[in-house]
Amino acid sequence: MMQETIAGHEQRIDGVIFDMDGLLLDSESLAMEALVSAGLTVGYDIPMTFCRRMIGVPADGCRTLVREAYGADFPVDAFFAAQEEHLRDFVDAGRLVLKTGVEPLLDYLDEHKIPRAIATSSSRYRTDHHLKLVGLFDRFDAIVTRDDVTRGKPDPEPYLKAAAKLGVEPCLCLALEDSHSGARAAHAAGIRVLVIPDLMEPNDEIRAKAHHVLADLHEALAFIRRTRG
C-alpha cells in the first residue's frame, strides 16, 4: 500500500529511471546467497545479515565493508571472484526471474512513449548478460552501470548521467529503487524516488527521502497513471 495518499499537483513525469537488482530482477536474494557461498569457499562463515549491508553498494564500497569487518588479511579478490562464479551458476540454473509488475509497467511506458533508463551498481557485463537473459535488454533507452561512472550510489552521478542520456531534466524524472543507497542517490540528484523494498525495509531516513514507499511495481504503475491523469 502507498505510504500516503497522493494530494495536490504532481510534477509531470517525462522519464523513468530504474534500478536493476531487486527492482527489475529478483536477483538480490541470489547475490546474497552467492556471497554466503563465496565466504565458505574462501574459508569464512559470513552471515547473511552482514551480506545484506552490501545491497545497492558499489564494488569499491563492498570491498571496504569486507576489509573493515574481516581485516586486511581477508582474501577480498578471491571472495568476490567466488561470488561471481556462484552467482553465474545460480543464473545458469534458471533462477533469475523478473520482479512482479515489470512487464505491465514497461508496456505502459511503451504505449505512452515515455523514455526509460537503468542506473545500476552492477558491472556492464553482468547488467547486459542478465537483461538479455530475461528479455529486457532492448526495452531501455539508456543503461548506466558502475563502469560508466566515477562515483557510484549513493552519489547522485549514476542518476544524473541516466537523466542526461534520456535528455530529461532530473526534476521531471521518476526513479524506482529498492535499496537505501539507491534512494539516497536519486534523492541527491533531485529526482523523485519511489521506494519498493526488496530485502531491506526503509528506515526513517529513507522514508523521508522517498516520494512514496510502495509494495510493488503494480503500485508504481498506478502512481504513474494517476500522475499523468
pLDDT, tens digit (0-9, with 9 covering 90-100), for 162-197: 999 999 999 999 999 999 999 999 999 999 999 999
- Strands across the sheet containing 15-18: 142-144, 116-119, 15-18, 173-177, 192-195, 212-213
Nearest in space to 24 (alpha carbons), one of 150, 148, 109, 113: 109
Mark whether 216 is an active-site residue.
Answer: no
21, 148, 178, 198: which is the annotated catalytic residue? 21
pLDDT (mean) for 97-121: 98
**CA 57, chain centre distance (Å):** 10
Specify the CATH class of 15-26+96-228 in words: alpha beta
Would you place residue 56 in the very low, low, confident or very high pLDDT band (cuts 50, 70, 90)? confident
Q: Give the burial class of 58: count Cβ atoms within 10 A of its Cβ; 0-12 exposed, 13-18 middle, 19 or more buried.
A: buried
| Structural domain spans, the chain | 15-26+96-228, 28-92
Grid cell for residue 179: 535499496
Identify the pLDDT of residue 81: 96
Mark whether 45 is an active-site residue.
Answer: no
19, 26, 178, 198: which is the annotated catalytic residue? 19
CA distance linking residue 39 with residue 211, whole number of Å: 37
Strands 173-177 and 142-144: what pairing? unpaired
